[in-house]
């Protein structure tokens, strides 16, 4: 149980750092956020590898990074939902939506994909624990998708 708490805290720190630096603070902040995210992911991967016995048949580093799926969650849904969460936060900061509108809009988006908060968090936990580099690539896609949403 303690291992999962550490993983959840590391994931939370990663998501929080990414969110804080993705609020349109400029190129410098964007680069700093990416570096912070990469560093946090590397630390999370080291922590996970330290806590898990290595598999003698298939080392983690040689596993291909393919689309991850946890139930109904896929990489594409994760990217869309993560970007949308950040987009709603940005809209709220810009005064384009009220704080009371955030949760209903978010819940409607999750429902449209047929996933729950629990599905989302399990996907994050599984993806980070299996392949932190793949998770970092997904977060880059989230950033790109967020930029697309902001242009609308």
Here the tokens at position 54 are 């290595």
- The predicted-structure confidence for 110-144, as pLDDT tens digits, reads as follows 999 999 989 999 999 998 889 989 999 999 999 99
Q: Is the pTM of this model over 0.75?
A: no
Here the tokens at position 32 are 């700093």
Here the tokens at position 34 are 């990416």
Report residue 152's pLDDT band, with 50, 70 and 90 as the boundaries: confident
Q: How confident is the model over 61-83, as a mean pLDDT?
A: 70
Here the tokens at position 71 are 């139930």
3-class secondary structure for 77-138?
HHHHHHHHHHHHHHHHHCCCCCHHHHHHHHHHHHHHHCCCHHHHHHHHHHHHHHCHHHHHHH
């Amino acid at each position: 149980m303690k291992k999962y708490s550490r993983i959840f805290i590391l994931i939370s720190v990663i998501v929080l750092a990414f969110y804080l630096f993705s609020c349109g603070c400029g190129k410098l902040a964007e680069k700093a956020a990416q570096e912070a995210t990469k560093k946090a992911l590397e630390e999370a991967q080291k922590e996970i590898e330290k806590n898990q016995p290595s598999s003698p048949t298939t080392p983690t580093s040689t596993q291909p990074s393919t689309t991850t799926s946890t139930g109904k969650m896929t990489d594409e849904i994760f990217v869309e939902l993560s970007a949308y969460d950040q987009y709603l936060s940005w809209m709220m900061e810009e005064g384009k939506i009220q704080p009371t509108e955030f949760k209903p809009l978010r819940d409607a988006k999750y429902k449209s994909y047929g996933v729950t908060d629990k599905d989302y968090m399990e996907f994050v936990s599984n993806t980070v624990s299996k392949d932190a580099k793949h998770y970092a690539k997904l977060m880059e896609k989230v950033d790109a998708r967020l930029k697309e949403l902001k242009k609308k």
